[in-house]
Chains A and B, each alone.
With several copies, the nearest count.
Chain A
Amino acid sequence: MITVKIQKEKFNPQKILKNAEKGKEYGALVSFIGSVRGETNNGKVKKLFIEHYKNMAEKIIYKTALNAEKKWNLDYCYIIHRYGTLKAGESIVMVITCSKHRKEAYAANEYIIDWLKINAPFWKKEIFENQSKWVEQTL
């Protein structure tokens, strides 16, 4: 089962985890949460602005999930990614992967995030006290 959500609103990682666990008998569940760091190399981050290319982002993330599901025989895959303006500490992205054995769940989870970082059309701009700066890609 694959779910992909791209939304402006905050999400609740606890609720998402709870739903993933409902009726679960899969053995291994790996989740990743990426959040807005309060401090980067450029100083104290006030806000993070995330721009995205809606239709393409949905398409790419869904395709990535589908590839991961097939390759690692996942029982469950949930991906949520925010756009808009976020504050430090807020969650940007969450990925849950479930499978019978842990190796598959870890590998699929990391694959999804790696792939998403390279291909999904989102762009981050860090907003500091007196300036703002588009984040540069680091792979």
Chain B
Amino acid sequence: MRVLYFAKVREIIGLPEENIDLPSNIQTVEDFLDYLISKENKYDLALSNKEAIHIACDEDHVDKDFVLKNTKEIAIFPPVTGG
């Protein structure tokens, strides 16, 4: 799965995107975030405040209970501040 990071999340994790193979026990966005957080300190730093993390799957905003079954691209970012 292609994983994109933006803004502060990108800065803390230190890269704009990476490919991550989804472990078989991961179903939802929430599972995936927990997986990342447990993987390495930088993910913990960037993502542990889940209230402040928004998710888009294949370019649509989704909730944390969204099931990642056919997702090709997941984007992880802070609340948007455009306009």
Instruction: List residues of chain A with CB under 8 Å of any chain B CB.
Output: 34, 50-53, 55-57, 59, 81, 92-93, 113, 116-125, 134-137
Contact = CB atoms under 8 A, between A and B. Distances in A.
Interface of B: 4, 6-8, 10, 56, 59-61, 75, 77-83
A114 to B, nearest CB: 8
Contacts, number: 70
Contacts of B61: 119
B83 to A, nearest CB: 4
A123 B82 contact: yes
A124 B56 contact: no
Contacts of B6: 51, 53, 121, 123
Contacts of B75: 53, 56, 121
B60 to A, nearest CB: 8
Contacts of B82: 50, 52, 57, 81, 92-93, 116-117, 120-124
B8 A122 contact: no
